[in-house]
Structure 1
Amino acid sequence: MKHKTKITGLLSLLIVTITISCNQKEKVATSNTDNTEQKQTGDNIVTRFGDLKLESGYPSEDAITKLYDERDFQRACQIHTWALPMVGFHGLHLAQRDQLGIKDGEISMFFDLKDKSGMLTPNITTLYAFSFWNFDKQGAFVIDAPAGLIAGGLLDLWQQPITDIGQTGPDKGAGGKYLFLPPGSKMIAAPGYRVYISPTVQVWFGTRALDPNPKIAEETIRKFKIYSWNDRSKATVTNFVPVNGKAWTSAQPTDANYFKMVAEALEPEPVQTRDRVIYGMMASLGIEKGKAFQPDERLTKIFNEAAIVGELTARANAYEKRFDGSIVWKDKHWEYANMVELNQEDSNYTQLDQRASWFYEAIGNSTGMQGRILGFGQVYLETSKDKAGKWLVGSKSYHFHVPANAPVKQFWSITLYDNVTRGPLVTDQGSADMSSRKDIEKNADGSVDIYFGPTKPKGANKNYIKTLPGKGWFPYFRFYGPTETYFDKTWQLEDIEEIK
């Protein structure tokens, strides 16, 4: 009986508790309903961008202004992220054409730090060669590649590779003729040519010469030929234009001009299906094919702010990645710089953040640049933090240890970049760069110690790279021709460590 009484008491308590709970929920529900009705009949709605007044459920004139301004600002910010690969392409094209005076179809040559100072995260070790082409103006064309130690390819407006050319291309470094056709073309038979159809009107050819002998590297590059398909029977001469240390820059604008570049770059291009929703967003902002880009005062103000916020968002996305798989080694701060698939697609979505991270910092992509081929191509690793997880800054001194037997068939290099411009960090020492091809001091076991700081740290060896107080910096560590111990992770880089 005692047990029965206890159970009856517990049941009674449970019933009372449930009843009270239900009554409370009813009151909350009624309260929420009342609040909703009140807000829909005239109360202010408090938001992060201001109070919005409703009038019988309709937004007031002031609320409408705020809502459209906020909508347009949000859309502009997302367009900024989406457009980074294309604006990077267009910025480089404009720099080559307008600042360096190099015509489409000519090949520019970048030899050293001065030549590459306006480029996003270039390596300082190898010779670069670039050329742009416009199918609407110049028609189908041919790249006749020489045999030799070269790596590169042809990219579309979105910096998606149409094909690699050289060591990681179908010619495997043996050279050959590549024919490129405009968007919408039908495939043609062209014996002796590898034939590709471009998805975009504007394309960019980029390559690097990897021979350690500078003379041979230049001779190899100068054997390239680029010419119109219609001129294939004629004796065509390709014009090579050394940059010769001219000042230039290709960094994305941080004002409304960013969106002007978006409009310019897209004007001649076919619309890709995956981007149609973005095109709808752009149309509401006056960025539309066939129409002049003429933003009014309101939109110009929004574009200026969105360019700044977009730039800082891109910086956060690059240096504090929040997408999976970016960390190379557990409990270390080294990250994969390039995590972009060749078509920029993941299994269920377009790689919006991954490609924004890479193309904010860098230019170009190819099979060879993804760092997945044993013995060929390049690996790009980056870090922006020291061993303690703090940002790398120019006012502090650091030590960096590269273990012996680096997993490379060719060479490794480390290059420091300005974290704002993403261009090479330049000091009175010259380039902030070191590689295994240079005369570096090695330890008895073959490992290498490198030092960074505004002044040479006490006890440092000759492997010293100068930094600048007041400037943040980040390094790329490149593996040229990565080997097995990189891929199986039995060889690992150390974190950069602050010298207290």
Structure 2
Amino acid sequence: MKYNLSFILVLLLAACNTTPKTGDNTKTGDSTKVGVDAHGWIGTATVKSRLGDFEFRNGYPTADAVKKLSDALVYSRAIEVYLDQMHAVSWYNVWKGVAAAGVATPNQVVIWETLMDSETLLLTGNTETVYGLSSFDLKRDGPVVVEVPAMMLGGISDMWQNEIAGIGPTGEDKGMGGKFLLLPPGYSGDLPKGYITLKCTTFKVSLGVRGFMQDGKPDKAVALMKTTKIYPLSAASNPLATTIVNGSGKEVSTIFSDNYHFFEDLAELITQEPDERLQTSERFLLASIGIEKGKSFQPDADRTALLEDAAKTASAVARVNSFASADTAKLVYNDRHWEFAFIGGSATWDTQGYVNTDRRAGFAYIAIGMSPAMVKKIVGGGSQYLWTPRDANGDFLDGAKNYVLHIPADIPVKNFWSVVVYDAQSRSMLRNGNLFPSLSQYTGPQGNSDGSIDVYFGPDEPKGKGKNWIKTVSGKGWFTIMRFYGPLEPFFDKTWKPDDIKEVK
């Protein structure tokens, strides 16, 4: 595991540039001097750093220095924990939001029957895809059966967004559908026959499925999803009917907090899930800020305030990591500002020989779904994503300004493409007064004479361009994702590429 030690060094070891207290009469090369000697050792001195000044006497910290430096260490570790465990807390919030939607029955599936819209608070959802989500609790219900129909697309994931099983032609069911049996961690009971058995790594598990529109309508995909059946194995002889909840037009909230509540969610998750799910080094960092399995997370007022501050700082760092990363591998093209959603081309973030937690956190702050299927190159199948928060000049996109995106002719997709606009604050679909802040081949945009398409963004509709316009909101930053479903070879070999988004004065 890769820790952001540079961050801790910046906070703490920058203090090595110490200043002797006035009147110390320190002499260069004098090994008996009271202040800092040639090795940089701290004697009786005031250590000055960006975190403040810390007093030492004869090499020992004063009581005030002990308090301030101890807090600094917890503060630094809390920031690292926030970034390192963000993908888990994010998915846990999706699990909770889906479980609490509608009538909140244990075996419900939330389906966005008339497509996902801006009422739903979900990280970078898509307006052109039919979504279905379900939350399972294997500690409460024991082994759970999930019956899926043939040609369903999706996956089953643990709380750290690791795929337990794929569903569909490249999944465990090979596109034929079947009965998945989800076993809790450590389960040792008898295994019945006739199931696709999955040994789950967490007690809380999520099912996510998606479907494509046919003839411009979601009806067939929705009907297919509604045939999904969910029930405990103990009730297999007489299962209750699966509850279907329509999520369209409803504020289903699934996004984690940027404040102290983040650590409350994390503590809940750690308490509920097996210790083995984390490395010992991860458990140490968590314990160092007060989150430990089997122990109540009840920090006092002082520690709560510190963690509140750390969460806000960490979320600020996360925004830099996502929107202004210095990682040069993020750029898709060397002459434009489009970025990869999965930097490094892996859903496990380990293409450099280690797990790059900065890249993982950069994704997790603005998106969900770390599925290998979302990265894999499948010409004419699967999906690919380009995104950008910047215009052609490299400036962040501003909801008060007008822009145009020129999309060249012959968009290389077998299925469909879409352009969706998101709120930089919530990272969900931009609430601009329209339910669908998007444009795609399904919406029938007007093409140019050469087959290319211009997409307009701005607070006011450009004259005669309404079918090609996505409304933005003054006072809100925004970013966009361009999706390619069934991408063709010109996408992969980059012989086709979209222009940058250009400001229109």
- CA 1:359/1:220 → structure 2, altered by over 3 Å: closer, same or farther? same
Is the CA contact (8 Å cut-off) linking 2:119 and 2:251 kept in structure 1? no
Corresponding residue to 1:169 among 158, 168, 171: 171
- List per-residue Cα deviations over 1:424-443 (Å, max 9, x = no partner): 11212442101112221112
- 1:264 and 2:268 equivalent? yes
Distance 1:366 1:389 in 2: 30
How far residue 237 of structure 1 moved from its aligned partner, in angstroms, is: 2.3
Amino acid at match of 1:242: N
Match of residue 89 from structure 1: 91
Moved more, 63-72 or 373-382: 373-382
* CA–CA separation in structure 2 for the residues paired with 1:451 and 1:371: 31
* Correspondence 1:254 to 2:258: yes
Q: How does 1:324-335 map to 2 (within 5 A)?
A: 324-335=328-339
> Which one is further off, 370-379 or 326-335?
370-379
1:445 aligns with one of 438, 441, 450: 450
Structure 1 partner of 2:460: 455
CA contact (8 A) 2:108 2:245 kept: yes
Describe the shift of the 1:238–1:274 C-alpha distance in structure 2 as closer, same or farther (beyond 3 A): closer
Rounded Cα–Cα distance in structure 2 between residues aligned with 1:338 and 1:478: 13
Are positions 1:489 and 2:488 aligned together?
no
Q: Give 1:126 deviation, angstroms.
A: 1.8
Q: Secondary structure at the match of 1:365?
A: coil
Distance 1:31 1:484 in 2: 70
| 1:88-109 alpha-carbon deviations (Å, 9 max, x no partner) | 1121222223454423321111
SS in 2 for 1:136: helix
Matches within 5 A, 1:390-469: 390-457=395-462, 460=465, 462-469=467-474
CA distance, structure 2, for counterparts of residue 376 and residue 122 of structure 1: 20
CA distance in 2, matches of 1:136, 1:168: 29
- CA–CA distance in 2 between the matches of 1:310 and 1:58? 31
Distance (whole Å) between structure 1 residues aligned to residue 96 and residue 287 of structure 2: 24
In structure 2, relative to structure 1, the CA distance for the partners of 1:376 and 1:32 (3 Å cut) is farther
TM-superposed deviation, 1:186: 6.0
2:245 matches 1:241: yes
Which of 90, 98, 103 is the equivalent residue of 2:105?
103
SS in structure 2 at match of 1:422:
coil
1:152-163 correspondence runs (5 A): 152-163=154-165
Deviates more, 1:342-351 or 1:212-221: 342-351
Farther off after superposition, 216-225 or 438-447:
438-447
Q: Which amino acid aligns with 1:225?
A: K
1:281 aligns with 2:285: yes
Unaligned runs of 5+ in 1: 1-27
In the alignment, residue 121 of structure 1 is paired with which amino acid?
T
Distance 1:160 1:453, change over 3 A: same
Alignment check: 8 A CA contact 1:371 1:380 kept: no
**Structure with greater proportional helix content:** 1
Distance in 1 (CA, whole Å) between partners of 2:155 and 2:329 is 27
Q: Could you report, residue by residue, the CA deviation over 1:11-67 in whole angstroms, capped at 9, with x for unpaired residues?
A: xxxxxxxxxxxxxxxxx9727995524963311111111111111110000110110
Measure the CA separation in 1 of the matches of 2:352 and 2:483: 28
Q: 1:33 to 1:312 in 2, by over 3 A?
A: farther
* Residue number among 291, 298, 323 corresponding to 2:295 in the alignment: 291
**Residue 226 of structure 1: SS of its match in structure 2?**
strand
Q: Which residue in 2 is equivalent to 1:43?
A: 45
- Judge conservation of contact 2:105–2:243 (CA < 8 Å) in 1: no
State the TM-score, normalizing by the size of structure 2. Answer: 0.88
Cα distance in 1 between the residues matched to 2:64 and 2:302: 15
Q: Deviations over 1:287-340 (max 9, x none)?
A: 111111101111111111111111111111111123352111112110111347
Match of 2:9 in 1: none
Counterpart among 57, 71, 74 of residue 72 in structure 1: 74
Tell me the SS of whatever aligns to 1:95.
helix
Cα contact 1:336–1:381 (8 A) shared by 2? yes
Q: C-alpha deviations, 1:192-212, integer Å up to 9, x for none?
A: 432221111111001111142
Where 2:302 maps in the other structure, the secondary structure is helix
- Closer, same or farther: CA 259–69 of 1 in aligned 2, 3 Å: same
Matching of residue 315 in structure 1 with residue 319 in structure 2: yes
Per-residue CA deviations over 1:439-488 (Å, capped at 9, x if unaligned) read 21112232111100111235746301110111000001111111111111
Supply the distance in 2 between the matched residues of 1:283 and 1:412 (Cα, whole angstroms).
46
1:69 Cα shift? 0.9
Aligned match of 1:140 in 143, 148, 156? Answer: 143
Which amino acid in structure 2 is aligned with residue 321 of structure 1?
Answer: S
Deviates most, 341-350 or 361-370: 341-350
Give the drift of 1:130. Answer: 0.7
Q: CA deviation at 1:225?
A: 1.5
CA separation of 1:389/1:347 partners in 2, compared to 1, >3 Å: closer, same or farther? closer
The worse-fitting range, judged by mean Cα deviation, of 294-303 and 194-203 is: 194-203
Q: 1:57/1:161 Cα in 2 relative to 1: closer, same or farther (>3 Å)?
A: same
Contact 2:117 2:436 in 1 (8 A): no
Change (3 A) 1:110 1:359: same
Q: Which has the larger radius of gyration?
A: 1
Q: Deviation of residue 250 (structure 1)?
A: 2.0
Query: More displaced, 422-431 or 41-50?
Result: 422-431
Q: What is the correspondence of 1:298-309 to structure 2 with a 5 Å cutoff?
A: 298-309=302-313
TM-score (norm 1): 0.89
Pick closer, same or farther for the CA change 1:101–1:119 going to 2, 3 Å. Answer: farther
- Other-structure match for 2:220: 216
Q: Aligned equivalents of 1:355 and 1:274: distance in 2?
A: 16
Does residue 477 (structure 1) correspond to residue 476 (structure 2)? The answer is no
Structure 1 range deviating more: 111-120 or 244-253: 111-120
How many angstroms does 1:118 deviate by?
1.3
Q: Secondary structure at the match of 1:310?
A: helix
**SS state of the match for residue 241, structure 2?**
coil
The SS at the match of 2:185 is: coil
2:385 is paired with a residue of what secondary structure?
A: strand
Give the 3 Å change call, closer, same or farther, for CA 237–461 of structure 1 in structure 2.
closer
SS in 2 for 1:391: coil
Q: 1:29 to 1:107 in 2, by over 3 A?
A: same
Larger displacement relative to structure 2 (421-430 or 114-123): 114-123
Matched residue SS, 1:218: helix
CA contact (8 A) 2:95 2:135 kept: yes
What is the DSSP-based 3-state SS (H/G/I as helix, E as strand, rest coil) of the residue aligned with 1:68?
Answer: helix
Distance 2:28 2:486 in 1: 65
* Contact 1:151 1:377 (C-alpha < 8 Å) held by counterparts: no
Tell whether the 8 Å contact from 1:119 to 1:250 is kept in structure 2 after alignment.
yes
Which amino acid in structure 1 is aligned with residue 457 of structure 2?
A: F
SS in 1 for 2:124: coil
SS in 1 for 2:262: helix
Distance 1:292 1:120, change over 3 A: same
- Residues 179-198 of structure 1, C-alpha deviation per residue, up to 9 Å, x if partnerless? 22222346976554322211
